Structure 1
C-alpha cells in the first residue's frame, strides 16, 4: 500500500498544525521544515498553492490516497448537500476514522492497522477494509478474541475525547455510530471550500 510512513512531525510543520495529534517535537519547532523554515520572509502563496495545501492537509489527516480522495469528492458532488461538508462527512464515516474517534486506537494509522488485522467488527461481522463507510446506527466493536490486546486497552484507558455522534460502552467494548456528524461537530481545521475550488477547476 502506498501509505506515507515518513517523519510525521515534518508533515505537521509543513501545515503549521499538529495534524497527527499531540506532538512534542512539533511544539518545539512549529515552523516550516527546511533550512529556511524559521525565516518568516516568505513570498505570498498563490491561490492554487493555498487550495492544494488544504487538499494535502485533508489527505494526510485522514490517511487517504489521491485516487480515493478524488473518488470521495465525486461521490460528494453527486450527493445532496454542500459538497465540501459532505466530503468531510465521508472522511469521518470511514471505519478507520470511527475506530480512532471511539478511542480504540490512539491514531488513525493505528486504527487502520487494527481494522486490517481483523480486530474490529461492524454489526457483529468482521470487517478488514479501513475505507468501509459506516452508516448511522452501525455498531462497531472490538472482536472478542482481541479485547485483551494491550494496545487497545492502553488506548481506551487514555481516551478522553467525547463526540456527540458516537456512543461508547467500555464494558462491552463496543460503540454506536449514532449519526453522520454535522460540519460544526467535526474538529479538524480544514477549509473544505478550498478543496472544492481546487477540484472544480
Structure 2
C-alpha cells in the first residue's frame, strides 16, 4: 500500500506572511494547543517522558511515517519563538493534553508555556500561562454564563474585561505567540503509512516538526 495523504489542513488568512502572524488565527473552531517558549527538541523530549511516548520521529515534516496510537505533533513555525504541541482528536484516544502537561513542561524546561483551548460548540475559551511551572495568569470564559480571570502579572478584574475574545487575542500577541487554525477532516488511523504534511503548510514555513506516539 502506498503512502497516503494526511487528512489535516493548516488554514490561515490572506495578507500577513505566516512568519509574522501572531495572536489567534480563528475563534470559530474547536481547538486545543500547548505552546512552549523553547525549541522542538526539548519540548518533544519533555512530552515524550511525561506521557510515555515511545515513538519519536525527529524532523519528520515531508517524510514518510507510520501512524501509531496517540499521534501528537510538536512543531515550530519559522520566525516564531514558541513551539506548538498539537494532538488531533481521535475517538479512540486515551491521552488528552491538559493544563498539567503545560505546567509540567514549563517547570521541566524552566520556561513559559501556554495551555489554550477553545470550544466553538460549547462557547468556551480558556488559557493558562505558566512560567517555570507556576501559573501566573489564567482566563476561563463561557458565553453568556461566566468570565473568570486571575493574574499575578497585572491588577485587573474579570468585570473589567469587556470582550474575552479580543482580550485573549491581545494576550497571545503580547506573548509574541500564535495559535494556528488546524483542521482534521478525518481521524488518523494507526497502521497507516503516510507522508507527514499539513495541507497548505509549506516546508519552508516549518522550522521543525516531530512526530510522537505510543506503540
Q: How does the TM-score come out when normalised to structure 2?
A: 0.27
More helix by share: 1
User: Which protein has the larger Cα radius of gyration, Structure 1 or Structure 2?
Assistant: 1
More strand by share: 2
Point out which structure has higher relative CO (alpha carbons under 8 A, 6+ apart).
2
Q: How does the TM-score come out when normalised to structure 1?
A: 0.28
